[in-house]
Amino acid sequence: MPSPISPLIIALDYASLDAALCMADRLDPRRCRVKVGKELFTRSGPDILEALHGRGFEVFLDLKFHDIPNTVASAVQAAAEQGVWMVNVHASGGRRMMTAARERLEQHNLATRLIAVTVLTSMERGDLAELGLDVEPVAQVERLASLAHASGMDGVVCSAQESARLREICGDAFLKVTPGIRPAFAETGDQRRVMTPAEAMAAGSTHLVVGRPVTQAADPMAALAALEQELAIRPQGQ
């Protein structure tokens, strides 16, 4: 199946394989990718990847690996060998960790996209201050994205508020995968650095991660359709 033309990645944050597949079966792999995160993977294990691949989805495995270089490289290899489209690590694990993961993929001819998390979209200046970082989030994102770029990452996870700046620093081809997407109709919840889908694309985000605004909506398919309309995406075949 060809890759979807849409930048949308739907976060399947569910407590069971059955619940996740119930949602996946209402989605169209020609219209979006899907993301498997910590809750779902911890509950279902690799079975969920096989089930989603079997349905034709490209999967972003969002486990945010952060450990010593050899451990992270081995975890990234394991993810890639299960055929995921994208996997991520924490940029704060440092250059040697990211480089080890990149080299491991190359040694095994694995084409999975490898990206690094900069500053979680749920964090604001006060959260960084409590970690001893007296900086605006955008400054910390720039620092970590530059390091990720220099360490051979295909892109980063950042908020859409930083996408324009990262386009200047790291270029168009460097992926800017942005959670914290909140259409006008959705609640912010625990997210802090948010943007609407249209604003995020205009700012230079390459991929938009959307969870609760679709998955927790009273009518998830209507919420997805509203997102697509905002982004002027025409479903294939129409």
Ligand X SMILES: O=c1ccn([C@@H]2O[C@H](COP(=O)(O)O)[C@@H](O)[C@H]2O)c(=O)[nH]1
Asked if 43 contacts 17 with a C-beta cutoff of 8 angstroms, the reply is yes
Q: For ligand X, how many residues bind (rule: CB under 6 A)?
A: 15
Q: Please indicate whether residue 64 is annotated as part of the active site.
A: yes
Distance in angstroms (rounded) separating the CA atoms of residues 165 and 146: 11
Q: Note whether 229 and 183 are within 8 A (CB).
A: no
Task: Tell me how many degrees the CA angle 170-174-178 measures, rounded to the nearest 5.
Answer: 105
Catalytic residue among 55, 64, 95, 125: 64
- Confirm or reject binding of residue 98 to ligand X (CB under 6 A): no
Beta-strand ranges (E) seen in the chain are 8-11, 33-36, 59-65, 86-90, 113-117, 155-157, 175-178, 207-210
Give the x/- contact pattern for ligand X in 171-210, rule: CB under 6 A.
--------xx----------x-----------------xx
58 binds ligand X (CB under 6 A): no
Rounded Cα distance, 184 and 139, in Å: 27
Residue of the chain from 4, 7, 8, 13 that contacts ligand X (CB under 6 A) = 13
Closest approach of ligand X to the CB of residue 177, in Å: 8
Is 38 annotated as a binding-site member? no
Choose between 156 and 170: whose C-beta lies nearer to ligand X. Answer: 156
**Binding-site positions for substrate:** 13, 35, 62-71, 121, 182, 191, 211-212
